[in-house]
Chain A
């Protein structure tokens, strides 16, 4: 367990040693702040009309949910860049033997790397959350729904990171890992767009699609089905990654 944290903290610090993590944090905040402000503007324009409607959507529905929705899409583009170098760069720089000949099991290496990246993603989620919290200064928020959105984003990012880490285990070059991760994520994201076309696969496609689970959670409906999907997803790819490292020792 201690080893996992040692590797995770090293990974996190290494991420911040390169300009990558800083610039991504800055740009992400900039883009999302822009989206957030346009949403707030739109809301203030709509407000007089909403006042007349019975059970009208509140500020949480009109500002917070779209913000987290866009955050997920922006991070779908960004996470592959963060995860691509985790293992494949170690392999390229021939630093993997340092970890492997140390008294550490492969699952500790992989979980350490994973936690390191997840910690960075957690920082991003916290930064994003500051924006809706600022609304508390001038109004009220549906805190339950806000928490549901935070949870949804965290779970979806944990899955992004797991698949990114697995791709990094497979790829010999970081760029390849990034392309692989991006393709896989995009495919999983849009899987249920085609659901209407062939109804016999409807249920399966909808279950596999990340978007539908993410949106379910965003509405504030915390169901074990959706949470289970993300946890199973992450665990599967972590396990595959560990298998891959074991296999490398055997085959090469």
Chain B
């Protein structure tokens, strides 16, 4: 797998304020990197630096092996960028706008109309091609922004909050589109909607106060999410205290006589023994569910821990 984007020790200061501090990461072809963080964490600043709209105070960016700062034009050819506000000319029709974007990316005449048709079809814009952008809804405008970013078939697609303002059906379509694009391109998308990352990304990166606090694959994230606890429900009251003698049980937290939560070691999963015991006792096992931490909990844990540990200067 080839590395498409490589950011090394990126930092950005606004005066004394540090918006992004020493951020390192890379994206390979076939990867969809989700960029997560609370508002003001430095997501948009990072995106702006990657797309060449903002010069980093320190650090390097390589797009497909080309230094973005030394050879901006060659590097930008491989980039598609959707900023947090889609850059649309309200007085143009969708078709005119996309033709202008194609010209800006120096698409030759032969492939231009093909590329426009393809990107219109992918973003569901066929029916509005002749309408003025200013008269279209926010959802359509967002999709035109995405169409613009994928128009010239760039290797790297950078999407800053691509699903903002879309309705649930459109969000599903866009997520599917992102997964589809992710197969042959490298995609970076920023969001603060956590399920979006789980659904459309292969990798996730959490940024807080300008620092990277987590870089993981989605599988790695799932492991973070598997906490070691079980919820048990029975039909009749059951003596949950008897399980404390099982190996690997840390604590038992009764909620009602028929309902409790058991925390255990990750290495020892006592589910099987517990099920056997309850069934044998005739209490009537209704549910035995491994509990999962939600993405929100991990996110909050990571960002708040970071806050208490090392405050950003």
Identify A17's interface contact among B87, B88, B91, B100, CB under 8 A.
Answer: B91
- Check if A3 sits within 8 Å of B87, measured CB to CB: no
- Residues facing A in B40-96 (CB within 8 A) are 48, 51-55, 72-74, 76-77, 79, 81, 83, 85, 87-92
- Check if A249 sits within 8 Å of B54, measured CB to CB: yes
Residue from B54, B81, B87 having most chain A Cβ neighbours under 10 A: B87
- Residues facing B in A72-101 (CB within 8 A) are 93-101
Residues of A near B87 (CB, < 8 A) are 93-98
A1-14, CB under 8 A of B: which get 1 and which 0? 01100110010001
- Check if B104 sits within 8 Å of A97, measured CB to CB: no
A237-252, CB under 8 A of B: which get 1 and which 0? 0000000000001101
Closest-CB distance, A34 to chain B (whole angstroms): 32
Listed A/B pairs (12) with beta-carbon separation below 8 Å: A3-B106, A10-B100, A14-B89, A17-B92, A94-B85, A97-B53, A97-B87, A98-B101, A100-B51, A101-B52, A103-B76, A249-B53
Closest-CB distance, A206 to chain B (whole angstroms): 43
- Check if B90 sits within 8 Å of A249, measured CB to CB: no
- Check if B73 sits within 8 Å of A101, measured CB to CB: no
- Check if B104 sits within 8 Å of A6, measured CB to CB: yes
Which residue of A has the minimal Cβ distance to B12?
Answer: A252
Count contacts on A: residues with CB < 8 A to the other chain. 24
- Check if B148 sits within 8 Å of A2, measured CB to CB: no
- Check if A97 sits within 8 Å of B105, measured CB to CB: no
Identify B105's interface contact among A7, A10, A100, A103, CB under 8 A.
Answer: A103
Residues of B near A95 (CB, < 8 A) are 87-89
Closest-CB distance, A132 to chain B (whole angstroms): 35
Residues of A near B312 (CB, < 8 A) are none
A94-B83 in contact given A103-B74, A249-B54 (Cβ < 8 Å): yes
Identify A93's interface contact among B53, B90, B100, B105, CB under 8 A.
Answer: B90
- Check if B91 sits within 8 Å of A252, measured CB to CB: no
Is B103 in contact with chain A by the CB < 8 A criterion? yes
Starting from the known contacts A18-B91, A101-B81, A249-B52, 11 additional A-B residue pairs (CB-CB under 8 Å) come to A7-B104, A10-B103, A93-B87, A97-B81, A98-B104, A98-B148, A100-B52, A101-B52, A102-B105, A103-B72, A103-B105
Is A221 in contact with chain B by the CB < 8 A criterion? no
- Check if A102 sits within 8 Å of B89, measured CB to CB: no
Residues of B near A18 (CB, < 8 A) are 91
Is A105 in contact with chain B by the CB < 8 A criterion? yes
Q: List A residues at the B interface (Cβ < 8 Å).
A: 2-3, 6-7, 10, 14, 17-18, 93-105, 249-250, 252
Closest-CB distance, B55 to chain A (whole angstroms): 5
Residues of B near A101 (CB, < 8 A) are 51-53, 76, 79, 81, 83
Closest-CB distance, B307 to chain A (whole angstroms): 26
B195-232, CB under 8 A of A: which get 1 and which 0? 00000000000000000000000000000000000000
Closest-CB distance, A62 to chain B (whole angstroms): 44
Residues of A near B92 (CB, < 8 A) are 14, 17
Closest-CB distance, A61 to chain B (whole angstroms): 44
Whole-angstrom distance between the alpha carbons of A108 and B105 in the complex? 13
Whole-angstrom distance between the alpha carbons of A95 and B77 in the complex? 18
Closest-CB distance, A91 to chain B (whole angstroms): 11
Residues of A near B101 (CB, < 8 A) are 98, 102
Closest-CB distance, A24 to chain B (whole angstroms): 17
- Check if B73 sits within 8 Å of A105, measured CB to CB: yes
A103-B73 in contact given A6-B104, A98-B101, A98-B104 (Cβ < 8 Å): yes
Identify A97's interface contact among B14, B74, B83, B91, CB under 8 A.
Answer: B83
Residues of A near B91 (CB, < 8 A) are 14, 17-18
- Check if B106 sits within 8 Å of A103, measured CB to CB: yes
Residue from A17, A95, A102 having most chain B Cβ neighbours under 10 A: A102
Whole-angstrom distance between the alpha carbons of A105 and B73 in the complex? 7
Residues of B near A7 (CB, < 8 A) are 104
Whole-angstrom distance between the alpha carbons of A99 and B89 in the complex? 12
Which residue of A has the minimal Cβ distance to B50?
Answer: A101
Residues of B near A100 (CB, < 8 A) are 51-53
Identify B55's interface contact among A3, A94, A249, CB under 8 A.
Answer: A249
Which residue of A has the minimal Cβ distance to B149?
Answer: A101
- Check if B104 sits within 8 Å of A3, measured CB to CB: yes
